[in-house]
Amino acid sequence: MGAGRGLLGLAPGRRILLNAVEWIVESVEPQLGLFVLAHADGHVESRSIRWLINHPDARMAKEVKAVGSGPGTQPRDAADLTPEQHRRARIRAEHVLEAMTGFRSGHPSRAQPGEPRPAYDPDRTTLTERRRVKVSELKAMPPQEAEMLGLRFMSLRTLERLSSATGESLLLACADGRWTRRSGGHRSVTEEVREAIFAVRKECKDRARIGMAAKHRLLHQYMKEQYPQFPTEKIPSRTTLWRVWHEWFGPGGGRQRYERSADEAEEAGVARRVVVHRPGQVLALDSTPMPVKLRETVFGDTVTATLTLALDLYSHSLPAFRLTLQSDTSVDVAMLLRDVMLPLPMREGWGEEMQWPYPGVPADVIAEFTGCGVAALPFFAPETVTTDHGSPYKNHDLVDAERELGCNILPARTLRASDKFAVERAFSSIKTLLFEHLLGFTGADVADRGADPEGDAVFTLAGWNT
């Protein structure tokens, strides 16, 4: 994207200067021609790409190296600060911005009541005059308040030095470097000890779970076998090993079988979360007992149904769902996939607002193909299907049907809720927004159940399926 000011790389995380004010691109929706800008003070705006192209003063911000980052270390980030430290650094940055621009927010469009103050009016004072006034103002502050905010020793030279930073870089420059001081490392962890620690971790991965004391003995054993001349007194203590282990490999609170599966997934290159780019790319299937008692159609008895959902992970829409008596089967799941691929006909009494909008395809073409009007419910051929390890989803007939449809099968890992977090959240939203307001709601468990949910049931299974 060029506008006579160089190339504008519109991507999440990039920094853009608009009227000399720095903004961060939070997200981009090219299919809608929109993007979201976020300011350092938390203000968020949604703009169109056309607006950015025609902006008179838009350019990319220079990449400024984070303050306090050294070679081989992770740069400091605002997330490293506690809420109190963030507040104190924000106050310091506001003083610097007021000396630079006359406004504590850094721009006239976000002026606070009473700004600019006469001594900081940019139309009547110079930059050097404002800095000198700011130094005098800070020196006149009560000593305890100035010391708490770190403004006691802010001189004219300090204000000049901080003026080169903007946005988050200014916030980090105003943060005390001692707040995010990094460890100087462990001098006792030499190359030989490092090799031994990784060897012990590899050995422990395939063994039963053991404590740090046993790992420390294995460390001594490895050093004695591989490096007999290495002094025993220079081997790190158990406390040092515990600290190094937590820094390098994390707390390690998981069970052994799941730690092994996570390591195997990382080695295979599939440990990262799937990134979805288009509708129908990944379809998540799951089932749960419906927390509302229903009436059976023939005899009117109270029954429990199972709700099976199909969730598109791109749009988070529900292309199809099914209610089955008691538990679902592989045939029910296969019919659910069929519902996902077929359009839903318009029903009597539905207005035009319920009709599906077709981007790029005339509605008459789809209506001629289906033989009727189509409701506003997505339908597509799923590319990848994500399921859990329940028996209906592992059935050979269902697997054959999915392969016949050309679907890739991506089972969720055992006890990994993050693999199907979206569909689990959909179940929770449906319960909160719908089921809790219906008669016959059973609650989360038996202790939270009503006096007689079976007697309160009024809805029928056939009524829900239609």
Domain ranges of the chain: 15-60, 78-180, 191-268, 282-342+379-465
| Burial class of residue 403, CB neighbours in 10 A (0-12, 13-18, 19+) | exposed
Q: Where are the beta strands (DSSP E) in 115-249?
A: none
Which residues, in sequence order, are bridge partners of residue 295?
302, 460
Q: CB-based contacts of 108: which residues, under 8 Å, 6+ apart?
A: 101
- Cβ atoms of 411 and 386 within 8 Å: the answer is yes
- Cβ atoms of 237 and 219 within 8 Å: the answer is no
Q: What is the C-alpha separation between 317 and 315, in angstroms, rounded?
A: 5
Q: CB-based contacts of 177: which residues, under 8 Å, 6+ apart?
A: 68
**Angle at Cα 235 formed by Cα 231 and Cα 237, nearest 5°?**
145
Give the pTM.
0.47
Strands 305-312 and 282-289, sheet pairing:
antiparallel
- Residues of the chain by 3-state class (helix, strand, coil), percent to 5: 40, 15, 45
Which residues, in sequence order, are bridge partners of residue 44?
38
| DSSP H/E element including 235 | none
- Site of tokens 């195997």: 264
What does CATH list as the number for 282-342+379-465? 3.30.420.10
Q: What is the pLDDT of residue 71?
A: 41
Q: What is the pLDDT of residue 199?
A: 93
Four-CA torsion 352, 357, 360, 361, nearest 10 degrees: -60
- Cβ atoms of 17 and 58 within 8 Å: the answer is yes
Q: Give the CA radius of gyration of the chain.
A: 31
Alpha-carbon distances, residue 45 vs 2, 97, 152, 202 (angstroms): 22, 22, 36, 49
**Residue 104, both tokens:** 């504590």
Strands 384-386 and 282-289, sheet pairing:
parallel
- Cβ atoms of 407 and 384 within 8 Å: the answer is yes
What one-letter code names the amino acid at 148?
Answer: M
Q: Give me the tens of pLDDT residue by residue for the chain, a chain 466 residues long.
A: 544 455 677 777 788 888 777 888 888 888 778 888 887 666 778 888 888 888 877 887 765 444 344 444 556 677 777 888 888 888 888 888 888 888 888 888 888 888 888 888 888 888 888 888 888 888 888 887 777 777 777 788 888 888 777 777 777 777 777 676 655 568 888 999 999 999 999 898 888 988 999 999 999 999 999 999 999 999 999 999 998 998 888 877 778 887 887 777 677 665 566 678 888 888 999 998 888 888 888 888 888 889 999 999 888 888 888 888 888 888 989 999 998 888 888 878 888 777 766 656 666 777 777 777 777 777 888 998 888 888 888 888 888 988 888 888 888 766 566 677 888 888 888 888 998 888 888 887 777 788 888 888 888 877 776 6
Please write down the long-range contacts of 100-108, taking CB distance under 8 Å and 24 or more positions apart.
100/127, 100/130, 100/163, 102/130, 105/41, 106/21, 107/19, 107/20, 107/21
